[in-house]
Amino acid sequence: MGTGKKILWGIIALTLLFFLLLGGLALFVYHHPRTLTSTIEKVVARAAGASLEIRSLSGSLRPLQVRAGGILLRPRDRQRGFYLKVDRAALDLSLEGPFGHRRLVLKNLDIDGCTLRVQEGMILPRIGGGRKNESLFARAAGALAGFFLFRDVRFEAARVANGTVTARSGARELSLTGIRARLEKGRPFRVSCRAGFRWPSQKISVTIPRLLLVTRNAFPFSGPVVGGDLSASGAVFRGDGAAAEKMDLKTAFSYDRARGRVTVGPAVFSLQKAVLKQPAARAGKVALGITLAYDFASRKLTADPLDLCIEDAGIRMDPGWSISPVDLRLSAAVGFDFAQGVLSVPRFRVRLKDVFSVAGGLDGGIADGSGIRVRLSEGRLWPRKAAGLLPPKVKAAAGAADFSGPVRFSGAVRIREDLRLESDLRILFGKNHVTFHRGRIRAAGDLSGQVRVRGTLPRVRLTARLQLDHGALRAGETALGPFGTALSVSGEYPRFRITKLALHLPEVAFPRGGKKLRVRDIRLRSAAGTFDVESGPVSLPDLRLESGLLHHLRVSLETGGGHLRVTCGGDETGLVAAAAALGLVPPGWKLEGTDAFRVEAEDEPGGGWRVRSRLDLRGLSFESGDGLYTGEKISLGVDASGAVGASMDRFSGEAALRADAGEILLDRYYVDLKENGLFFSLDGAYAVRDRRLRLSRLEAGFRHILSARLRGSLCHDPASPKFDLFLTVPGTPLAPIFEHFVLEPFQDEIPSLAKLKFKGDVSADFRLTRDGPESDVRGRLLWRGGRVSSDDPAMRVDGIDLDLPLWYRTAAGNGGESPLNGHLTVTSLSIPFLPAQPLDLSLSAGPGTLRVKGPTSLRIPGGTVRIGPVRAGRIFRSDRCVETRIGMEEIDIHPLLARLWPRPIKGRVSGRLDPVRFENGNVVTKGSIGADVFGGRIVISDLGATGLFSPAPLFRLSARWDGLRLAEITTGTSFGKIEGVLRGYIRDLEIAYGQPQKFDLLLETVKTKGVRQKISVKAVDNIARIGGGQSPFMGIAGVFASLFKQFSYKKIGLHATL
């Protein structure tokens, strides 16, 4: 036998031996299955280092099946973190193909009740390390098995039911329950389950009641594109401070093998309700539609389209600030190149319902550092709705502002690698109607123009051209409008330049005295100005203001270093005419003159303002409507400076006024201001909260005539006004005061004033107080070194020293206070009908009263008259009164009547008038004065007067006489001599204009023993003429009467009334 045959027979023998062994092994396993189970468990345990337990195992050859139950695989030794349990498993198999090329077909794998648990730190069982160390025998055995048994394996179908997968990592747990899967050749793969996720420490849980995955390709997933659909419905999310319900997801996915491209989508995600506790937020409905695609070859990811919709959303930022409802929509196409690090968004559109919308694109390189470029092709913002999203404090600061219509914007923004922004934006306003309302202030207008922003933040260049048309402004009763304004600004942050500022007000109306005052054609313009928004300086050096009333006004505004300075002024601005036009001048007055003024205000470091001003009026003339008040060519200057508190609660400062040229005539009073200039100065402070004015000094007067000073404090609380003031008139010569305020005004009516001459200095000191309804003024007038003299009639009063106390009080009584005392002393009093004599009076003043203490004795020719005491009451009222008494005792009548009666008269005068009362221009007396004269007696009573200071005063008296010897009265008179005794009366005599107005007169002779009753012819003739009659001695009667010189009479009587 040759060598080749031996080898062939050896192979055949080995083959027969292999089949014999295989057949024997199969027969043994069939009759002893438990032995096979133990063997498999031991082999797996040694190979994987894990514990495997199979509770039941069975099978059959025809058909070829394997059944197993209670399969449990768990860690052993160092293995941990995994656990696999299969309740039941069934496998149907078959061998197909010719001998030597057979294939094992797994026709169906059915698993029911499968549980897999994995944990953090899991170590999987170790599976054998491949064939690199296999022996020659093992390789030969494997080749024989492949030749005689099967060469490869093919899978056809599988089913899983009641599967559970649980994965834990720390406190986090992911679970899939109720897993049902079906994989079958020629049909799509389908798997469904219920999913859940819990994280107790973070109080987070997610529940997905139904999760379904279905492939679009049939198994074994042949073809260039493999894909499927994934859906989840009814998902619920719970978290600490957040929750979402009824979440649904539907999406398709695919993988293109040829292009290496993965696509997810179109995907649709939605939820019906979402709540976020901090910040408090909610969403009624959320829907997301997206299609994702990833190209493995180019490493590009795209999302096209991407659509997001959020409806009925709301957010509560704090207890006073909530935003709702909000509807947001986003649509875009997004791409990202992982290889180049380039992001591309060819288009996007975002819209927040009724608030804003924006469309554009985005692209940028992340890897190359080129940054991200955002293109805004069209954007719109509705400020009216956007204002509802602002915090309450911001809305309160903006007041009740409204901005109708959209604001449009477009341009580009680039986000550089260093996160700095480059921008080129345009913001357009298209006649947007703007309104503002706060308190009594209302404003409105139509805003147009554009703002362009270019450059890298923060160093951006800004150009703005804005215009406001049909503007209107109302503050209380003051109204502006319609008006227009324009503003142009350019520059680079932070410093900008104002290239144009213009404002035109056709008319301004504001109330004054119940009427509307209107100022027309107001124009404000400026072509230069700067401001720095970072450091704060603002400069408007040349603001020019023109109006129908004021002209050539120039205003400047400067800020810097934490200070603000505002200056306003001009020359020949028409301020005088404006005052008349605005009703600041009484009706009917004429006012002319030129002006120049300047006002400067600067804020103080500690808050508040410092204000300085100057006003000059030149050639000022005025005339009242009735011509009583006039002025010509007056030069007047006012300087004022002061400080204003930070919260406008305090004012302090000083002011000075001077008028040193021109003439003024105030009714009767004339002043030449060049000789006697007018001056006024003030230094004080005012507290708004307390309504208190403090006067450190107030001085006013006419130079060389009179001046007065005032200091103290006032509180003008309407409920309880108070003041405490000190008024001082320094020592001033009386002569100029008399000349300007008495002589010149009244000398035409009273020519005798021109004959009076005054000397001495006058002064005054008063304190004025008020507390609530009660007022009190007290003080004194002083006249030192005084003298009054007159040449016609000859009168002279020398050495006058007057201290006149005065006291005014609204309340009755003096409150228990002592009266004010004063005095009047005169070294020499020399007036007509009185001999020269000194005078010394003690004065006393109470509230509204003035007294001359004790009686005053005045020497008169023939004796002394005692007057007083004198009491004047209500001296500060129109119904003032004076009360005194007058007494005479045994005054020799001859010296008294020496100048009136041509012959010496013997007699005495005595009497008393008590009281003598003057009130309301009337004089009333009680008492009488009697004279023993002409051998009889005369008594005068009822002396009085009415309207004493009126143009026609009326004087009254009554008198009676008895026993008068007519011979003593008529002897030596032109009337003619009468002898006899006279008695009679005159009652209710009233004299006005120097003429009797009323009387009742009785004259009659009384036959007396020892006294002749004779009358001369001349006396008869005069008596006959009384009453306008004719002489009785005419014709024959005259011839007859010439024969006699006197006649006897029986009785002479006269009774007359008027």
- Residue at 918 is within a domain: no
The answer to whether the beta carbons of residues 1014 and 978 sit under 8 Å apart is: yes
- Residue at 547 is within a domain: no
SS (H, E, C) 970-993: HCCCCCCCECCEEEEEEEEEEEEC
Q: Give the chain's domain count.
A: 2
Which residue, 480, 496, 513, sits at the end of a domain? Answer: 480
Q: Are strands 650-666 and 400-403 parallel, antiparallel or unpaired?
A: unpaired
* Residue from 833, 836, 825, 824 nearest 796 by CA: 836
- Tell me the C-alpha distance between 697 and 727, whole Å: 10
The answer to whether the beta carbons of residues 942 and 955 sit under 8 Å apart is: no
459 Cβ neighbours under 8 A, 6+ residues apart: 492, 493
- Tell me the C-alpha distance between 7 and 579, whole Å: 142
* Residue from 875, 887, 957 nearest 924 by CA: 957
The answer to whether the beta carbons of residues 518 and 506 sit under 8 Å apart is: no
- Tell me the C-alpha distance between 350 and 330, whole Å: 5
Query: Which residues of 390-440 form beta strands (DSSP E)?
Result: 400-403, 407-415, 421-438
- Residue at 948 is within a domain: yes
The answer to whether the beta carbons of residues 1024 and 1031 sit under 8 Å apart is: yes
Q: What is the pLDDT of residue 397?
A: 60
* Residue from 384, 390, 388 nearest 405 by CA: 384
- Tell me the C-alpha distance between 871 and 885, whole Å: 10
Global confidence as pTM: 0.60
Task: Pull the structure tokens for residue 302.
Answer: 């795209």
What Rg value do the Cα atoms of the chain yield, rounded? 64
641 Cβ neighbours under 8 A, 6+ residues apart: 610, 611, 612, 613, 653, 654, 655
- Tell me the C-alpha distance between 1053 and 966, whole Å: 13
Q: Are strands 907-919 and 881-892 parallel, antiparallel or unpaired?
A: antiparallel
79 alpha-carbon distance from chain centroid: 78
- Residue at 673 is within a domain: no
Task: Pull the structure tokens for residue 78.
Answer: 């160092």
Query: Is the N-terminal amide bond of 200 cis, ω within 30° of 0?
Result: no
* Residue from 446, 516, 456 nearest 485 by CA: 446
* Residue from 185, 208, 214 nearest 196 by CA: 208
- Residue at 82 is within a domain: no
The answer to whether the beta carbons of residues 1055 and 1002 sit under 8 Å apart is: yes
Within the chain, which residues score under 70 in pLDDT? 1-50, 76-81, 99-100, 121-151, 277-280, 317-322, 324, 366-370, 388, 392-400, 477, 510-514, 813-815, 902, 1026-1044
- For the chain, the 3-state helix, strand and coil shares in percent, each to the nearest 5, are 10, 65, 25
Which residue, 417, 448, 480, sits at the end of a domain? Answer: 480
Q: What is the pLDDT of residue 129?
A: 47
Residue 18 parent element (H or E):
helix 3-31
The answer to whether the beta carbons of residues 341 and 365 sit under 8 Å apart is: yes
- Residue at 440 is within a domain: yes
Q: What is the pLDDT of residue 439?
A: 72
Its domain, for residue 354, covers 340-480
Angle at 451 between CA 448 and CA 454, to 5 degrees: 165
Query: What is the Cβ-side half-sphere exposure of residue 538, based on CA atoms within 13 angstroms?
Result: 12
Burial zone of 297 (CB within 10 Å; 0-12 exposed, 13-18 middle, 19+ buried)? exposed
Would you say the C-alpha torsion 4, 8, 13, 18 has a positive or negative sign? positive
- Residue at 1026 is within a domain: yes
**Residue with the two structure tokens 């228990």:** 816
* φ/ψ of residue 345, rounded to 5: -125, 90
The answer to whether the beta carbons of residues 233 and 207 sit under 8 Å apart is: no
H helices of 311-374, in order, are: none
- Tell me the C-alpha distance between 849 and 444, whole Å: 64
The answer to whether the beta carbons of residues 255 and 261 sit under 8 Å apart is: yes
> Is 877 strand, coil or helix?
coil
The answer to whether the beta carbons of residues 697 and 683 sit under 8 Å apart is: yes
The answer to whether the beta carbons of residues 271 and 285 sit under 8 Å apart is: yes
Task: Pull the structure tokens for residue 91.
Answer: 């496998």
* φ/ψ of residue 600, rounded to 5: -130, 130
* φ/ψ of residue 581, rounded to 5: -70, -30
- Tell me the C-alpha distance between 642 and 911, whole Å: 69
- Tell me the C-alpha distance between 1050 and 1038, whole Å: 22
The answer to whether the beta carbons of residues 608 and 648 sit under 8 Å apart is: no
End-to-end C-alpha distance for the chain, whole angstroms: 207
Q: What is the DSSP string of 926-987?
A: EEEEEEEETTEEEEEEEEEEESTTSSS-EEEEEEEEEEEEHHHHHTTSTT--B-SEEEEEEE
Task: Pull the structure tokens for residue 226.
Answer: 């493999």
117 alpha-carbon distance from chain centroid: 71
The answer to whether the beta carbons of residues 747 and 741 sit under 8 Å apart is: no
- Tell me the C-alpha distance between 411 and 360, whole Å: 9
The answer to whether the beta carbons of residues 916 and 910 sit under 8 Å apart is: no
- Tell me the C-alpha distance between 743 and 736, whole Å: 10
Task: Pull the structure tokens for residue 916.
Answer: 């003598």
* φ/ψ of residue 950, rounded to 5: -90, 170
Task: Pull the structure tokens for residue 187.
Answer: 């049909």
- Tell me the C-alpha distance between 514 and 136, whole Å: 125
* φ/ψ of residue 241, rounded to 5: 95, 5
Which residue, 447, 480, 513, sits at the end of a domain? Answer: 480
Angle at 684 between CA 683 and CA 690, to 5 degrees: 170
- Tell me the C-alpha distance between 300 and 401, whole Å: 49
Would you say the C-alpha torsion 37, 39, 40, 42 has a positive or negative sign? positive
- Residue at 492 is within a domain: no
Q: What is the pLDDT of residue 599?
A: 94
Q: What is the pLDDT of residue 814?
A: 63
